[in-house]
Amino acid sequence: MGLATLTIFLASTCAYSQTVPPDFKKAVCFIFGRSSPHLPNGEPVKGPDGAAVVLQEAPLGTGFFVSYPDPRGGSNFGFVYLVTAKHVLKDWDGRYLQTIKIRLNLKDTGGFDFADVPVTDDKGSLLWFIDEQDSSNEAALYPLLPDQKKFDYKFVPTQMFVTNDTFATANVAEGDRVFFVGLLPQFYGVSRNYPVVRNGTVALITDEKIPVGNIGPHRLYVVEMSAWPGNSGSPVFLQLGGLRGGGLMLGQDIRMLGILLAESNNVMSAKIDKNLQYQWGNGQNTGISYILPAPDLSLVLNNHSAQANRDLQIAALKKN
């Protein structure tokens, strides 16, 4: 259902340190699914029998849990959503998958288990909440509250989100520290989930839209932090502390900056004439990553469809 009468929040402040608080690693889950790989020319990869190859449990990306408080259910009541980037939910041909599996650590036994999560219905319609006004907004969320007695996980509260005012009020600038927590597809753990943590810095702040692959131009945060396929959908956190606005902050305020979308590859282009462009570069990872701003996730959390769903669940609770 995606609702909880007891929300467990990550701490938004901690003693100043270069280490990542361990609870942040508990906010993420690993997303797996059936995937049909394709060649660069768009043709499906085929096996020795000539049939198209289907990967049964391919590591697709990272998800994380967000808590959305709603006082209508009580002072400590909220809705819980699984969040990722839209393209994590798609097959190689760009169509949404029918289902995914999320892999979570178990609370008592020390192992892990999978939970099935639907993506589309029988007609192929997406069941997740997205920004229906802006297709370049990659935020996707689904109401989901895994068994809290069985699984060991935490929520990121919406109160931790960076807002449009944060950059000005906190004097955020290039060089501020960031980190993400996510799936390392080359090794995600044999007996339990082991999220990878990577650190970096804010590299570029701009109000202009930046084009990213097939996503299209969108306002993004640019960070100096290496990423690769499998990290998509990871939560990215901003570490506020140290010298800020001419003063020293003795403590570290950690905010959720946004969702990791993609790495920047070494490809450049220039016009040959008004109709043609020339591209060059080796396509290698530049160490720059693009982050979907947390306010774009808030847009989806607060859109009409998500609010209507919460209204229905609150009405059902009051009837009971």
Residue among 188, 102, 201 nearest 142 (CA)? 102
Amino acid 231 reads N
pLDDT digits (tens, 9 = 90+) for 56-102: 888 999 999 999 999 998 888 999 999 999 999 999 888 999 999 99
The distance from CA 6 to its chain's CA centroid, rounded to whole angstroms, is 23
- In the block, residue with structure tokens 């999320």: 102
CA–CA separation, 207 and 220 (whole Å): 8
Mean pLDDT score, 268-286: 67
What is the predicted pLDDT for the residue at 227? 82
Report residue 312: phi and psi, to 5°. Answer: -65, -40
Neighbours of 224 (CB within 10 A): 18
- DSSP code of residue 276: -
Burial bucket for residue 92 (CB in 10 Å: 0-12, 13-18, 19+): middle
- Bridge partners for 139 per DSSP: 85
Q: What is the pTM of this model?
A: 0.87
CA–CA separation, 8 and 163 (whole Å): 22
289 or 18, higher pLDDT: 289
Helix (H) or strand (E) holding 201: strand 196-204
CA–CA separation, 234 and 232 (whole Å): 6
What is the predicted pLDDT for the residue at 7? 41
Neighbours of 88 (CB within 10 A): 25
What is the predicted pLDDT for the residue at 245? 55
Angle value at C-alpha 23, between 287 and 137, nearest 5 degrees: 50
CA–CA separation, 161 and 163 (whole Å): 6
CA–CA separation, 239 and 166 (whole Å): 12
Is the pLDDT score of 252 beyond 60? Answer: yes
Task: Identify whether the C-beta of residue 129 lies closer than 8 Å to the C-beta of residue 306.
Answer: yes
Residue 54: pLDDT band with limits 50, 70, 90: confident
**305 Cβ contact list (under 8 Å, min separation 6):** 129, 132
Neighbours of 254 (CB within 10 A): 21
Written as six digits, the tokens of 10 are 């990550």
294 three-class SS = helix
Buried b (16+ CB within 10 A) or exposed e, 147-181: eeeebbbbbbbbebbbeeebbeebebeeebbbbbb
What is the predicted pLDDT for the residue at 244? 54
What is the predicted pLDDT for the residue at 320? 74
What is the predicted pLDDT for the residue at 57? 85
- DSSP code of residue 52: B
